[in-house]
Amino acid sequence: MRKWLIEELICPQCLDSDIVLHPDIHTETEDDIIEGHLVCPQCRQVYEIHEGIAVVVPEQTLPMIRDTTGYNSFSMLSSYLWSHYSEFFNGPDATDAYQKWARAFGSQRPGWALDIGCSVGRLTFEMTKIHDRAVGLDTSISFVRAARRLAARKRLEFDLIMEGQITEQRACELDSAFDFDRTEFIVADAMALPFRSRRFATVCSVNILEKVPDPLLHLAEANRVMDEKEARFLFSDPFSWDESVNNPNLWLGGTQEGPFKGFGMDNICRLLQDPESVFSPGFTIQDKGQVLWKIRKTSNLWEHITSQFVVAERTAMG
């Protein structure tokens, strides 16, 4: 874990913005902690750093990150590396979805950016083009390991699933404008962000809302870590609500009754503009639309997804 991140990390259980975690370093390089711990001076909880990867999640999230299926599986890694980087190895079917989301960040702005549910890091790297630093977080250790490896090697090499256990190697250079040295990736939970409040100039939540047990808590946490005066929020989601992932009582759309009845995007826009909601102070909507996104499972199995996005800004002028 990059040493520059230490001063920003708080305990995801206490979520006390004034108390940063204390590093206990066992192995290090000039810039990185390779093995060690981060300790909460308040509740004494210990968070591990192993092979450079910091795991800063509340205890109840640990079973999820230890699960070797789902987002930690080999097949998901192949799918998401293809999805994020296929443009760079000139796949004829490559998706340009991430270019489109990246364009939504707009122009250069000082400060740090956060990519919540970053997967294998494409948008995090994109954000280094216009921010001082970019941090990606995900509950998948496999994705975070892959993103860190990309940042270290500054190129992509991986095994792409063709069919079943048959794979082919793909390798390529990435965008030379990515500033790999100004990124870091950690294992963390979107519902308990281990960062000091108001730390980030830009936050993105792309295709994760429907995947978390408590979507409103995720948005409240995203808001907590965004600057109170000047902030930009990129939100995107397919709103494919699924009862096996989260309780319909907690969905932010897709229901006929309740506080979030109706369509997800309408409700998100309403929340963003309502200063009494989880987004306080409120935001102004800058842009809205949809991105056609693809995930490739095997040579013959593709998922085509429409992700609806909104870009919102909070400015000092109000």
Is residue 189 close enough to count as binding ligand SAM by CB under 6 A?
yes
Least separation in angstroms between CB 28 and ligand SAM:
26
Residue from 127, 130, 147, 206 that binds ligand SAM (CB under 6 A)? Answer: 206
Q: DSSP state, 280?
A: -
Calculate ∠ Cα 188-194-200, nearest 5°. Answer: 105
Instruction: Report how far residue 226's alpha carbon sits from residue 294's, in angstroms, rounded to the nearest whole number.
Output: 29
- If binding is defined by CB under 6 A, does position 191 make contact with ligand SAM? yes
Tracing tokens 């500033």 back to the chain, one arrives at: 179
Nearest-angstrom CA–CA distance, 141 and 43? 25
Residue pair 208/245 in contact (Cβ under 8 Å)? The answer is: no
For the bound state, the minimum distance from the C-beta of residue 69 to ligand SAM, rounded and expressed in Å, comes to 12
Site size toward ligand SAM, by CB under 6 A: 15
Stretch that binds ligand SAM, among 35-43, 172-180, 205-213, 284-292 (CB under 6 A): 205-213
- Within 51-110, the residues that bind ligand SAM by CB under 6 A are 71
We find the least distance from the C-beta atom of residue 138 to ligand SAM, in angstroms, to be 5
Is residue 202 within the footprint of ligand SAM (CB under 6 A)?
no
User: First CA to last CA across the chain, in angstroms?
Assistant: 36
How many Å apart are CA 9 and CA 20, to the nearest integer? 6
241 contributes a contact to ligand SAM by CB under 6 A = no
Strand partners for 46: 39
The answer to the question of residue 140 lying near ligand SAM (CB under 6 A) is yes
Candidate ranges 28-36, 175-183, 201-209, 270-278; the one touching ligand SAM (CB under 6 A) = 201-209
Q: Which stretch binds ligand SAM (CB under 6 A): 147-155, 160-168, 194-202, 208-216?
A: 208-216
Query: Rounded to the nearest whole angstrom, what is the least distance from the CB of residue 86 to ligand SAM in the complex?
Result: 12
Residue 275 bridge partners (DSSP) = none
Q: How far is CA 198 from CA 121, 195, 297, in A?
A: 22, 9, 38
In the bound complex, which residue of the shown chain has the CB atom lying closest to ligand SAM? 117
Give whichever of 25 and 220 is closer to ligand SAM, judged by the CB atom: 220
Q: Which of 130, 146, 160, 190 binds ligand SAM (CB under 6 A)?
A: 190
Residue 268 interacts with ligand SAM (CB under 6 A)? Answer: no
- Tally of CB atoms within 10 A around 197: 18
Give the shortest CB-104-to-ligand SAM separation in angstroms: 13
Per-position DSSP letters for 86-122, written without gaps between them:
GGGGT-TT---HHHHHHHTT-S--SSEEEEET-TTSH
Does 143 sit near ligand SAM (CB under 6 A)? yes
**Distance of alpha carbon 72 from alpha carbon 83, whole angstroms:** 16
**What six digits make up the tokens of 203?**
């936050």
Beta carbons of 167 and 160 less than 8 angstroms apart: yes
Residue from 32, 126, 138, 184 in contact with ligand SAM (CB under 6 A): 138
- Asked whether position 212 contacts ligand SAM by CB under 6 A, the answer is yes
Beta carbon of residue 200, minimum distance to ligand SAM (angstroms, whole number): 15
Altogether, the residues listed in the chain come to a count of: 318
Instruction: Name the one residue in this structure whose structure tokens are 């519902």.
Output: 191
Judged by beta carbon, residue 244 or residue 256, the one nearer ligand SAM is 244
Residues near ligand SAM (CB under 6 A) are 71, 117, 119, 138-140, 143, 189-191, 206-208, 211-212
